[in-house]
């Protein structure tokens, strides 16, 4: 169903934010980025580097489900691309292009300005060019498809792990999920005393502006045996990697990397639980042989990124957990974005 | 924001529809289709044919805006891919892969069954493999990204037309827009007398199941000088092609191809207006030199597709229309999907 032409002004408004930014690039810049034909035709024409395969992923953020309705527009734009970059990171792929399907209730100029600032901020950090988009009126939904490339045969898959491999995670777990819980409870930590308030603000920032581990994914190529990103919580995601590789995974919950900010705000037992099931971490879960692990660790060190061994893989199936030396069962078996 | 694990059942339900279908293909079939790694990892890994560029487009359908809320699920699934295929057709590209971002209010098994039947029906017709997806709960929104390939330098662009080129359209215009108007007025034409009822049903079918002109787009490579698909109505879309090519376009409204079904249901003047502005046609608008036009016509004939010269391009800018030998101004300057 179409709308009368009186709405053309609104449409133009949207287009201005997303096309002008990219149109500023000159032809040489676009060619360097593999963009043969960008925004403005029926489709984009893109050139992959020689000897590479295309890597494609899509992730959708729905207002009120994947972020609180009151979330800053800048965070929404940033996160929409960040969660997709995290998928490419988990493949060891180099991000290149993105398309945006934006559904929004009204063409709010200030909201759009902030949204696009967040989106283009992280796009620029990772050399991503927006090559297409579609804007429709409706309840706020942001769907981004990310496109990138990987040398043929080099993609990090979930099914490549071997018995005896070590399991490691990047960064710290549970922060983002904790941030979401705090932001849902109160918009700012400002009234909670200085140290705790600063910690809460940091956790909220982790939710609003997750850092996709793209460089770590690239560094893990030819070293890690398997990888995936942790978006639904380790307890929800690890079983997928174990199943894809046909192995049993064991995790020592005492080893889970917890940030000072998380430890400063909640009890140890709560922090552990959130690290397992709260989700929205966008850290990498990596498997590597004991022989290769030092190389992985060296790569992480060069990126100033913490890498923590949390367990190992063995023949069998399923996932087992231990804490304080005895069996442990996470509070839930995992979270699910459809619910 | 995640949902508790009690919803895992629903998520699995969705996944079943979209993954099992593709999982049935064997590894050889997938490799033939360029799928190195399909659904089930963080991202898909895809291999383009040698010497080609990637072509990518995205289109979103929002319930109540792009189709009536009562539209059959099969039509929603079919249309979501069809409108994207139409974008690739307009580039002269060969469709290969698609990703789906589906947002739906509840996991309704029967609706999903029908939706996926419609989606996979047209996917199969055009050799498209679904390589990724994301399902979220929210108001019904279907966003499809289509990926395909085109030999380097062969893409049909909007900016390639030359002064003196003829303008032509495939098929007939206005049918789909008329169908939408009828379906919005009454769900079926069954109570309107036999001949007119059959015509109305045909128009509604044109809206529910538009035929993307993929084969015609492929045939037009190296022959047409410019192309685009007509999705917002000729009066809305032609100015974009004229502007991209830096030319003036003139159309003789008397020449617009109108179907017998449209003529059987509304007056000539109404039929013309809908052909210009009602939208949702998904026919191709093509420009070709007078020397090349016969080749384009021969290609269309081989595809059993009507191709009609509607006007021509000349130096200058803007679009002019004539009807019955005198100047004509379309009822509106075009429709807009955001509104």
Residue A178 exposed, middle or buried by CB count within 10 Å (0-12, 13-18, 19+): buried
Least CB-CB distance to A338: which of B11, B146, B150?
B11
Domain boundary residue, one of B151, B181, B216:
B151
Residues 6+ apart with CB under 8 A from B241: B158, B161, B226, B228, B249, B285, B287
User: What is the residue-level pLDDT of chain B in tens, covering all 339 positions?
Assistant: 433 333 445 556 666 667 666 655 677 778 788 999 988 899 999 999 999 999 999 998 988 888 998 899 999 999 999 999 999 999 999 999 999 989 888 888 889 889 999 999 999 999 999 998 888 888 899 999 999 999 999 999 999 999 999 999 999 999 999 999 988 776 554 555 678 899 999 999 999 999 999 999 999 999 999 999 999 999 999 999 999 999 999 999 999 999 999 999 999 999 999 999 999 999 999 999 999 999 999 999 999 999 999 999 999 999 999 998 899 998 764 444 433
Are B68 and B196 in the same domain?
A: no
- Record: contact B141-A103, CB cut-off 8 A: yes
Are A167 and A143 in the same domain?
A: no
**Residue with token string 């002019």:** B320
d(C-alpha B320, C-alpha A39), whole Å: 26
Q: Which of residues 292-331 of A touch B (CB under 8 A)?
A: none
Are B176 and B316 in the same domain?
A: yes
Give strand ranges (E) for chain B: 35-37, 44-46, 52-62, 94-104, 129-137, 141-151, 166-170, 226-230, 247-252, 283-288, 307-315, 319-323, 326-328
Residues 6+ apart with CB under 8 A from A330: A235, A273, A276, A277, A321
Q: Mind telling me how many Å the CA of B303 is from chain A's nearest CA?
A: 22
Are B141 and B226 in the same domain?
A: no
Q: Is residue B135 included in any domain, yes or no?
A: yes
d(C-alpha B143, C-alpha B100), whole Å: 6
Are A162 and A310 in the same domain?
A: yes
Least CB-CB distance to A58: which of B41, B45, B134?
B134
The answer to whether B48 contacts chain A (CB < 8 Å) is yes
Are A123 and A92 in the same domain?
A: yes
d(C-alpha A304, C-alpha B303), whole Å: 60
Are B212 and B305 in the same domain?
A: yes
Determine contact, residues A139/A60, Cβ cutoff 8 Å.
Answer: no
Q: Is residue A333 included in any domain, yes or no?
A: no
Are B106 and B167 in the same domain?
A: no
Residues 6+ apart with CB under 8 A from A304: none
**Residue with token string 């029906």:** B121
Least CB-CB distance to B57: which of A132, A155, A236?
A132
Number of domains in chain B: 2
- Record: contact B232-A137, CB cut-off 8 A: no
Residue A43: its chain B contacts at CB < 8 A? 55-57, 87-88, 90-91, 93, 146
Look up the domain containing B106 and give its range. 10-151
Are A296 and A272 in the same domain?
A: yes
Domain boundary residue, one of A151, A183, A216:
A151
Domain boundary residue, one of A102, A117, A151:
A151
Q: Is residue A142 included in any domain, yes or no?
A: yes
d(C-alpha B118, C-alpha B141), whole Å: 16
Q: Is residue B47 included in any domain, yes or no?
A: yes
- Record: contact A2-B99, CB cut-off 8 A: no
Residue B97: its chain A contacts at CB < 8 A? 56
Structure tokens at A152: 């043929």
Structure tokens at B54: 């990637």
Residues 6+ apart with CB under 8 A from A280: A176, A177, A180, A207, A210, A231, B2
CA distances from A226 to A241, A243, B80, B87 (A): 8, 12, 34, 36
Reported ipTM: 0.90
Here the CATH number for the domain that contains residue B215 is 3.90.650.10
Strands B129-137 and B94-104: parallel
For residues A290 and B184, the model is more confident at: A290
Q: Which of residues 51-80 of B touch A (CB under 8 A)?
A: 53-68
């Amino acid at each position: 169903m179409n709308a009368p032409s009186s709405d053309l002004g609104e449409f133009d408004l949207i287009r201005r934010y997303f096309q002008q930014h990219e149109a500023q690039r000159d032809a040489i810049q676009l060619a360097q980025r593999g963009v043969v034909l960008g925004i403005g035709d029926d489709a984009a024409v893109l050139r992959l580097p020689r000897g590479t395969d295309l890597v494609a992923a899509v992730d959708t953020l729905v207002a009120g489900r994947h972020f609180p309705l009151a979330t800053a527009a800048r965070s929404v734009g940033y996160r929409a691309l960040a969660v997709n970059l995290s998928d490419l990171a988990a493949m060891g792929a180099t991000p290149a292009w993105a398309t945006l399907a934006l559904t929004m209730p009204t063409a709010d100029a200030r909201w759009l300005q902030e949204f696009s600032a967040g989106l283009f901020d992280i796009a620029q950090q990772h050399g991503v060019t927006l090559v297409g988009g579609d804007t429709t009126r409706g309840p706020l939904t942001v769907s981004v498809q990310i496109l990138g490339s990987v040398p043929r045969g080099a993609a990090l898959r979930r099914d490549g792990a071997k018995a005896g491999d070590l399991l490691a995670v990047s960064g710290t777990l549970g922060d983002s999920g904790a941030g979401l819980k705090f932001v849902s409870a109160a918009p700012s930590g400002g009234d909670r005393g200085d140290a705790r308030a600063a910690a809460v603000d940091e956790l909220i920032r982790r939710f609003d502006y997750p850092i996709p581990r793209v460089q770590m994914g690239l560094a893990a190529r030819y070293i890690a045996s398997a990888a995936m990103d942790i978006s639904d919580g380790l307890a929800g995601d690890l079983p997928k990697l174990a199943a894809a590789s046909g192995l049993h995974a064991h995790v020592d919950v005492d080893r889970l990397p917890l940030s000072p900010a998380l430890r400063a705000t909640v009890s140890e037992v709560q922090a552990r639980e959130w690290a397992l099931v709260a989700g929205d971490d966008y850290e990498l879960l990596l498997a590597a042989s004991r022989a290769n692990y030092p190389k992985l660790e060296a790569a992480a060190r060069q990126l100033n990124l913490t890498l923590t061994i949390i367990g190992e893989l063995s023949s069998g199936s399923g996932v087992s957990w231990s804490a304080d030396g005895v069996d442990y069962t996470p509070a839930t078996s995992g979270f699910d974005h459809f619910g």
